[in-house]
Amino acid sequence: MSRVWRRLSLRSQLTLGLLACMLLLGAAITLALFLYFERFQQHLTEQGLRERSERLLTAMVLRNGEPELAIKRIDPAYQRPLSGDYFVIRMNGREWRSRSLWDYEMLQHQPPANGRLQRLPGPVGQRLLLQSEVYERFGQRVVITVASDYAPLRVEFQRALWQFTGLWLGVLMLALLGMQVYVRLALAPLQRARSELQAVREGRQTGLSEAVPAELEPLISQINDLLEHTRGSLQRSRTALGNFGHALKTPLAVLANLVARSELDEHPVLQAQLREQVDSIAGRVQRELAQAQSAADSHAFEPFLPEQDLQQLAAALEKAHGRALEVRWEVAGVDVVGLDRSDLLEIYGNALDNAWKWARSTVLVRIAPRTDHWLLEVEDDGPGIADVADRQKALLRGARLDESVAGQGLGLAIVADIVQAYGGQVSLHRSALGGLKVSVILPRRMAAALH
Amino acid sequence: MRLLLVEDSVALADELLPQLRSEGYACDWLVDGRDALAAPGVDDYDIAVLDLGLPGMGGLEVLAAWRRAGHRFPVLVLTARDRWTDRIAGLDAGADDYLGKPFHPRELALRLRALLRRSNASPAGAQLTVLGITLDETAQAICTAAGNVSLTAAEFRLLRYFMLNPGRLLSRSQLQDHVYDHASERQSNVVEVYVSKLREKLGRDAIETRRGQGYCFVGQRA
C-alpha cells in the first residue's frame, strides 16, 4: 500500500489528501449540525410540550363540582383531526382526548414516566414526540400527556442539510481545481531543477540555481554538493589515470628500445613476441589515455573555433611532416557549440595525420551541421584503402595496415574510441579525391546556434 | 651531426645514446631543463631531442627560450603527453617534430634523419643524393653504379655532415664538434685522417682543401 502510495504522482497524493480532508471535515460538520439540531429540537419541544401541558391544566375547570375541560380555552389545533397536536388527560378514572387524535390510539401502553420524552410513530406518517406530566388539580392527581408532530421540522432540516452538502461539494470542486493550479505552480521549481540537471549533464551549466523555495533548498544544495563531489572524484580519477598512463610511457619506451637491441637479433621469434607484447601494452595505454582525457562525459567544454583551430592543426602537421599539402577547407561559417576543442583536435589531428602520410597533394577538411548531428570529414587523394574489410580493420584496436609507414597505426582507432565516447560513429569510405574518406558523426546533444 | 638529448629518464637515455651514436650522431645528454637552456650557447648543435617533463624547467619553456635566443637547429619533442593539443602547443613553441612515447627506435631514427634533411633543404627519401654522390643512410654506404661502397662509422658521420652542408666551407674544429664525441675521438689529426679516407672512396676532388681555412664538399661534377 505504502509503495503504491509513494509511486503516485504528487498531484494525485495532494488531491487525494485534500479530498479526504474535505470529506472528513464535511462529514464532521454535517454530523455536528445533525446533533446540534436534535438537541435544539428536543429542547424546543420539551419546552413547548411543558407549556402546552400547563395550558391544558389551566383549561381544566370545575363545573358543578366536577372537573371539566374548557374547550374554548384550548388551542384550536387540538380540534382539527390529525393536526399533529394531541393530548390525553387522565384524571381519577376519567379521560379526555383531543379531537385531533380522531381514531388514533396514542396511549396504547402506559404513558411515559413523569417529564420523560418519548418518540412515537404517529398516524399518517407523522412522528410524534410525547411527554406526560403529573399535576395536582382540585385535590386530585392529573396525568396530562401531550404530543406534537415533528416531521415537518425534520423535512425542513433535511432540505437544509442537502443544500449544505451541495454547497460543500461545490467548495470541494473549487478547492480541487485551485489545487491543481497550485500544485503546478508549486512544482515549477522542481521542473526547473530537472531542466537544469539536464543542462548540467550536457555541460551547459555546472550546478543548479539555489534560488528555490525554502523547502527545496536543502535538496538542491545536496544535489549541488553531490555534483561537486562527483566532478571532483571524476577529475581526480581522470588525473590519476592520466598520470598513471604517462608514467608508464617512458618505461615502455625503454622496453621498446631494449627489444630492438642487437643482442636479441639472434632470437628473432623471441624478439618478435616481445615487440608484439610491448606494442600491445603501448597501444592499450595510448587508447585508455585518449579516452581518459576526452571531455565526452565531462562538464567543461573548451570552445572549438573550427577555422582557427583547424588551420593551426594543419600548420602543425605541415611542420611535423615537413611537407605542404593543398588543404581544401569546408569549415567556413560553421558556428560550433557543444563540442570540445581538445577532442575535436584529437579527432581531426589523428585523421589528418593519417591523410598527410598518404596524400599526394590534396586533403579536404569538412565540418557540417546536420539536423541532429555534426558531420566531420577528412579526405585525401592518396591510394586509399580499397578493401572494405581492411577499412574495418583500420578502426580496430592497434591495427596497422602498412608496417612500412612510420607511426603506431593507432590514429584511426583512437578516433573511433573518442567518437564512441560521444555516442557517435566513424566510417571509412572512398573519397571523390581518390583516397580515403574518414567520416565522423557526432550526435548533437545540445541546442546549437547555426547560421 | 652533433645531437643534444635532453631526457630525464636515465634508463631511456641509456638505450637511446648507443643507438643514436650508431646512427652516426655525436651525442650530448642532459637531464635538467636549466642545463639544457644554456647548452646551445656552449656547443653548436645540429639537432636536439627534447623531453617535455624535465626537472628544473619544463621542456616547452626551454624550447621557447632557445628559439628566442635565435637557435634555429631542428628540435624533435619526445614526450608522453602526445594529445594533439599538446602537439600543437609544442610545434607552436618552436618544435619541428613531435614523437609520442613509447616509440619504435627505428621511427626516432627516421624522424631525425628527415628533420636533418629538411633543415638542410635536401629532399626526403631513403637515400641522400647531393652533388652527384648518393649516400644510403640506413646501410651507411656510398651508392655507386658498380655497387655499394661501405663506410666506417666515423667516415659515414663525416660524409653525411659534408653532404648536408654542400659547398660550404667547414673548419676543422667545426667538423670535429659536429661529427665526433668529445671524449673519445677528439685528436688533432682525426679530421685529416678521415677526409683522406673519404677521398680514397669518393675520388680526390670530392672534398677540396682550403689552406688555413678548412674543407669544402664539392662532390662529383659530371
CATH number at residue B37: 3.40.50.2300
pLDDT of A337 reads: 66
Cβ contact A315–B91 (<8 Å): yes
Mark out the alpha helices in chain B (DSSP H runs).
10-22, 33-42, 59-68, 84-92, 105-119, 153-164, 172-179, 182-185, 190-202
Distance between B146 CA and the closest CA of chain A, angstroms: 28
Do B107 and B24 share a structural domain?
yes
Residues A12-51 pLDDT 10s = 888 888 889 888 988 898 889 888 887 887 777 778 888 8
Q: Nearest by CB to A319, which of B81, B85, B91?
A: B91
Cβ contact A407–B85 (<8 Å): no
Most confident of A162-166, A198-202, A395-399: A162-166
Do B147 and B115 share a structural domain?
no
Task: Please report how many Cα atoms fall inside a 13 Å half-sphere around the Cα of residue A38, on the Cβ side.
Answer: 7
Do B152 and B49 share a structural domain?
no
Do B111 and B18 share a structural domain?
yes
pLDDT of B187 reads: 62
Q: Is a pLDDT exceeding 90 seen at residue A101? A: no
Distance between A260 CA and the closest CA of chain B, angstroms: 7
C-alpha to C-alpha distance for B143 and B129, rounded to whole angstroms = 9
Q: What backbone torsions phi and psi does residue A119 show, to the nearest 5 degrees?
A: -100, 150
Any chain B CB within 8 A of the CB of A294?
no
pLDDT of B100 reads: 87
A-chain residue closest to B87, CA distance: A316
The DSSP line for A222-251 is HHHHHHHHHHHHHHHHHHHHHHHHHHHHHH
DSSP state of A123: G
Cβ-proximal residues to A387 (8 Å cutoff; 6+ apart), any chain: none
Cβ contact A313–B84 (<8 Å): yes
- Rounded to 5, what percent of chain A is helix, strand, coil? 55, 20, 30
Do B133 and B91 share a structural domain?
no
Cβ contact B83–A315 (<8 Å): no
pLDDT over 70 percentage in chain B: 93
Q: CA–CA distance from B4 to each of A380, B50, B77 (Å)? A: 36, 8, 12
pLDDT of A157 reads: 82
pLDDT of B186 reads: 57
CATH number at residue B210: 1.10.10.10
Give the domain range for residue B41: 2-119
Q: Is a pLDDT exceeding 60 seen at residue A71? A: yes
Q: Is the separation of the CB atoms in B60 and B6 below 8 Å?
A: no
Cβ neighbours of B190 (radius 10 Å): 17
Task: Choose the mutation target among A249, A278, A356 for the interface with B, i.e. most B CBs under 10 Å.
Answer: A249
Do B8 and B113 share a structural domain?
yes
The answer as to whether B222 is a domain residue is no
Task: Choose the mutation target among A241, A244, A254 for the interface with B, i.e. most B CBs under 10 Å.
Answer: A254
Q: Is a pLDDT exceeding 60 seen at residue A407? A: no
Residues A278-309 pLDDT 10s = 888 888 888 888 877 777 666 556 778 888 88
B-chain residue closest to A290, CA distance: B83
Mean pLDDT of all residues in A350-363? 91
DSSP state of A334: -
C-alpha to C-alpha distance for A89 and A83, rounded to whole angstroms = 18
Do B75 and B151 share a structural domain?
no
Q: Is a pLDDT exceeding 50 seen at residue A254? A: yes
Mean pLDDT of all residues in A216-228? 89
pLDDT of A39 reads: 82
Distance between B162 CA and the closest CA of chain A, angstroms: 22
Please say which residue of B65, B91, B119 terminates a domain. B119
Residue A447: pLDDT band (50, 70, 90) is very low
Cβ neighbours of A197 (radius 10 Å): 15
Picking from A325, A332, A375, the residue whose alpha carbon sits closest to that of residue A355 is A325
- CB contacts of A320 in chain B (<8 Å) are 87, 91, 96-98
Do B107 and B140 share a structural domain?
no
Beta-ladder partners of A67:
A62
Question: At A159, which amino acid appears?
Answer: R
SS3 A438: strand
Distance between A405 CA and the closest CA of chain B, angstroms: 9
Distance between A257 CA and the closest CA of chain B, angstroms: 6
Task: Choose the mutation target among B19, B31, B85 for the interface with A, i.e. most A CBs under 10 Å.
Answer: B85
Domain A301-451 in CATH 3.40.50.1100? no
C-alpha to C-alpha distance for B36 and A185, rounded to whole angstroms = 68
Please say which residue of B103, B119, B135 terminates a domain. B119
What CATH fold (topology level) applies to the domain A2-155?
A: Beta-Lactamase (3.30.450)
Task: Compare A205 and B17 and report the one with higher pLDDT.
Answer: B17
The answer as to whether B72 is a domain residue is yes
Task: Compare A398 and B90 and report the one with higher pLDDT.
Answer: B90
Q: Is the separation of the CB atoms in A413 and A289 below 8 Å?
A: no
Residues A368-404 pLDDT 10s = 888 888 899 999 998 888 777 777 777 775 555 444 4
DSSP state of A114: B
Distance between B142 CA and the closest CA of chain A, angstroms: 23
B-chain residue closest to A346, CA distance: B84
Number of domains in chain B: 2
Q: Is the separation of the CB atoms in B137 and B1 below 8 Å?
A: no
Residues A127-136 pLDDT 10s = 888 888 888 8
Do B158 and B112 share a structural domain?
no
* Cell reading at A115: 417529564
Task: Compare A1 and B49 and report the one with higher pLDDT.
Answer: B49
Q: Is a pLDDT exceeding 80 seen at residue A333? A: no
Q: Is the separation of the CB atoms in B98 and A349 below 8 Å?
A: no
Any chain A CB within 8 A of the CB of B67?
no
Mean pLDDT of all residues in B20-34? 91
Residue A75: pLDDT band (50, 70, 90) is confident
Residues B94-135 pLDDT 10s = 899 999 888 888 889 988 988 888 877 666 666 888 888 888
Do B104 and B34 share a structural domain?
yes
Please give the mean pLDDT across all residues of chain A: 83
Any chain A CB within 8 A of the CB of B81?
yes
Question: At A19, which amino acid appears?
Answer: L
C-alpha to C-alpha distance for A215 and A187, rounded to whole angstroms = 11
Q: Nearest by CB to A250, which of B96, B98, B101?
A: B101
Residues B127-175 pLDDT 10s = 888 888 888 888 888 888 778 888 888 888 889 889 888 888 888 888 8
Beta-ladder partners of A326:
A362
Cβ contact A349–B111 (<8 Å): no
Residue A448: pLDDT band (50, 70, 90) is very low
Do B205 and B111 share a structural domain?
no
Do B59 and B75 share a structural domain?
yes
Please give the mean pLDDT across all residues of chain B: 86
pLDDT of B3 reads: 93
Q: Where in chain A are the domains? A: 2-155, 204-293, 301-451
Cβ contact B19–A345 (<8 Å): no
Please say which residue of B66, B100, B119 terminates a domain. B119
**Maximum pairwise Cα distance, chain A:** 162
Q: Out of A61-65, A122-126, B183-187, which region has the weakest mean confidence (pLDDT)?
A: B183-187
Any chain A CB within 8 A of the CB of B115?
yes
CA B31, chain centre distance (Å)? 19
pLDDT over 70 percentage in chain A: 92
Q: Out of A339-353, B47-61, B174-188, which region has the weakest mean confidence (pLDDT)?
A: B174-188
SS3 B145: coil
Q: What is the pTM of this model?
A: 0.64
